[in-house]
């Protein structure tokens, strides 16, 4: 999973160079360059070009919102397809460990492995809709 840019520490009324912004949010300068090409505003009248703190924060927040994909109870987010997908053949493995359950299946489009955690409370509902193979794992101390 890629590192998530840090929002804390960005001061709205400060301006940052690309290098300062990169260090502040924990991404590379190249990533900041990509963001400015994707619409993160730069103060062009300055040299070096500066990025306003509030613009930086808004850009990261908007990016996060755009990335969120809603998946239904019996849907999985497929990293390869970058979309919510149903499991192939409506089949999934379920690993229960303590009070946590993890569903694992194959994407019905690309056949990549998809998985997601679910609450035990919702397991009966999932079980009624998918062909689940349930495996209980003994918690080790
Ligand atoms: Zn897929």
Cα–ligand 1 centroid distance for 85 (angstroms): 7
In a domain, 5, yes or no: no
Cα–ligand 1 centroid distance for 116 (angstroms): 14
Is the domain of 46 the same as that of 96?
no
Cα–ligand 1 centroid distance for 51 (angstroms): 37
Cα–ligand 1 centroid distance for 99 (angstroms): 28
Residue ranges of E strands in 21-111: 51-52, 76-78, 83-85, 91-97, 100-106
Which pLDDT score is estimated for 47? 85
Is the domain of 80 the same as that of 113?
yes
In a domain, 8, yes or no: no
Cα–ligand 1 centroid distance for 80 (angstroms): 5
| Bridge partners, 5 (sequence order) | none
In a domain, 4, yes or no: no
Which pLDDT score is estimated for 58? 94
Element (H, E) at 133: strand 131-137
3-state helix, strand, coil in the chain (%, to 5): 30, 30, 40
Cα–ligand 1 centroid distance for 93 (angstroms): 17
Cα–ligand 1 centroid distance for 106 (angstroms): 8
In a domain, 10, yes or no: no
| Residue range of the domain that includes 90 | 76-137
Cα–ligand 1 centroid distance for 83 (angstroms): 7
Q: Comparing C-alpha atoms, which of 97, 9, 84, 83 is closest to residue 53?
A: 9
In a domain, 6, yes or no: no
- The pLDDT tens digits along the chain (141 residues) read 456 889 989 999 999 999 999 999 999 999 999 999 989 999 877 788 999 999 999 999 988 888 777 889 999 999 899 889 999 999 999 999 888 899 999 999 999 999 999 999 999 999 999 999 999 987 666
């Amino acid at each position: 999973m890629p590192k998530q840019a840090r929002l804390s520490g960005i001061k709205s009324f400060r301006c940052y160079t690309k290098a300062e912004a990169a260090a502040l949010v924990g991404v590379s300068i190249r990533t900041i360059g990509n963001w400015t090409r994707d619409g993160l505003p730069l103060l062009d009248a300055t040299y070096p070009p500066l990025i306003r703190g509030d613009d930086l924060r808004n850009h990261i927040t908007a990016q996060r919102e755009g990335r969120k994909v809603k998946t239904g109870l019996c849907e999985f987010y497929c990293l390869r397809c970058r979309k919510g997908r149903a499991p192939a053949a409506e089949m999934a493995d379920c690993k229960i460990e303590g009070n946590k359950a993890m569903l694992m299946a194959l994407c019905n489009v690309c056949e990549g492995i998809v998985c997601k955690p679910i609450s035990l409370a919702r397991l009966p509902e999932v079980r009624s809709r998918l062909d689940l193979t349930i495996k209980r794992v003994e918690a080790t101390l």
